[in-house]
Amino acid sequence: MSTTSHTTADAFERRLSDHPRSDAERAALTAEPAFGVVFTDHMARMTWTVEAGWGERRVEPYGPLLVDPAAAVLHYGQEIFEGLKVYRHADGSLWSFRPWANAARFAASARRLALPELPADDFLGSIEALVAVDGAWVPSAEETSLYLRPFMFASEAFLGVRPARRVDYLLIASPVGPYFAGGVKPVSIWVSEDYHRAGPGGTGAAKCGGNYAASLLPQQEAYSHGCEQVCFLDAATGSLLEELGGMNVMVVQRDGTVVTPALSGTILEGVTRDSVLTLLREGGHEVVERDLPLAEVLDGLRTGAITEVFACGTAAVVTPIGRLAGEGFDLAVNGGQTGAVTAAVRHQLTAIQYGRAADPHGWMHRLA
């Protein structure tokens, strides 16, 4: 557990809303929250210019932005984001999970998109400053949390194609329940062979809006086949599992070995992915990060050599996959039920996040 903090939280000027929601309104909105539809009363922000660097730290009322129609982000998509959560523990204290890892990934994404890096102290400072004002929005029911969405975009009004000389950073927050409507239960996956998410040298390892925009058509294809999510194959060979677009993927073999696609530069370096792999290793599982051919997974599901498949991510936490379908195949995974390894690692991870178990890795960071 880490409680020390040298952030810029105090440097964020507070301009508080003159119409915050009442306690009763907030209680109603946080009782059974869906994913990402309700937002708190405030947001944090900073601005960067090439001349002055980062400045104008403030927390201000949540509301629409004034964006110039020529802002580069609207034309060339120079944008990145992060996702992390604030958990309420039984004693009422508020905690985030490995926020420094998100800060580091945000900086890495910024480098890839030719955006300015936000110092980690400002990333954490903005979170602490917003939670200091809107902490009452962190829900307390089981499986709920306050989802934080930090993002940065090119706000300079300029239509030439070059890195913007003015950039805005914002942090918004949304009380959330499970990512998938219907709660925590096995989801079905469509393996797309027509579309790829990322190619070698592209932006696959960065958390940028463009990656998600490109995933929407294949996602629609998944819906049309009765699936909830799409799984992408690598662009180079069209034969290796990569990720689900918003989640990493792992398979469990009959002997307990867990295999997941290696970080090849085309998939996102998930914080949940890394945490789950750590917990599995410590729990005695062999964990292998390598190429994962679709043919091997299909064969393993047919023969029983693969017993479980699951997805993981901040939003998805650990989500069992109960069905894997694609052109020419449609297979149940573990009879469509949540497998024991998936359930155990989900339980272990959430117990740390919600303060029900010790935090030997120092992953939790106290916010209030």
Q: Which two tokens stand for residue 363?
A: 């992953």
User: Which whole-number Å values give the CA distances from 205 to 99, 108, 171, 224, in the listed order?
Assistant: 18, 9, 21, 28
CB of 245 to ligand COI, least distance (A): 8
CB of 354 to ligand COI, least distance (A): 17
Q: Which is nearer to ligand COI, 35 or 195 (CB)?
A: 35
Q: Which is nearer to ligand COI, 76 or 212 (CB)?
A: 212
Q: Which is nearer to ligand COI, 309 or 315 (CB)?
A: 315
| Phi, psi torsion values for 221, nearest 5 degrees | -60, -40
Within 276-344, strands assigned E span: 287-290, 306-313, 317-326, 329-332
Q: Are the CB atoms for 115 and 163 separated by under 8 Å? A: yes
CB of 316 to ligand COI, least distance (A): 6
CB of 143 to ligand COI, least distance (A): 15
Helix or strand (DSSP H, E) at 80: strand 79-81
Q: Are the CB atoms for 157 and 68 separated by under 8 Å? A: yes
Q: Which is nearer to ligand COI, 150 or 322 (CB)?
A: 150
Q: Are the CB atoms for 291 and 222 separated by under 8 Å? A: no
CB of 261 to ligand COI, least distance (A): 17
Q: How far apart are CA 236 and CA 329, in angstroms?
A: 22
Q: Which is nearer to ligand COI, 174 or 348 (CB)?
A: 174
Q: Which is nearer to ligand COI, 231 or 306 (CB)?
A: 231
Q: How far apart are CA 89 and CA 165, in angstroms?
A: 42
Q: Which is nearer to ligand COI, 126 or 314 (CB)?
A: 314
Q: Which is nearer to ligand COI, 110 or 301 (CB)?
A: 110
CB of 203 to ligand COI, least distance (A): 15
DSSP for 316-331 reads TEEEEEEEEEETTEEE
Q: Are the CB atoms for 96 and 176 separated by under 8 Å? A: no
DSSP for 109-155 reads HHHHTT-PPPPHHHHHHHHHHHHHHHGGGS--STT-EEEEEEEEEE-
Report the interface residues with ligand COI, using CB under 6 A: 83, 212, 246, 313-315
CB of 36 to ligand COI, least distance (A): 7
Q: How far apart are CA 142 and CA 273, in angstroms?
A: 22
CB of 218 to ligand COI, least distance (A): 15
CA dihedral 93, 96, 100, 106 (to 10 degrees): -140
CB of 82 to ligand COI, least distance (A): 7
Q: Which is nearer to ligand COI, 62 or 212 (CB)?
A: 212
Matching residue, tokens 């992408």? 232
Q: Which is nearer to ligand COI, 83 or 186 (CB)?
A: 83
Q: Which two tokens stand for residue 12?
A: 């964020």
Q: How far apart are CA 341 and CA 42, in angstroms?
A: 39
CB of 22 to ligand COI, least distance (A): 29
Taking residue 326's Cβ as centre, other Cβ atoms within 10 Å add up to: 20
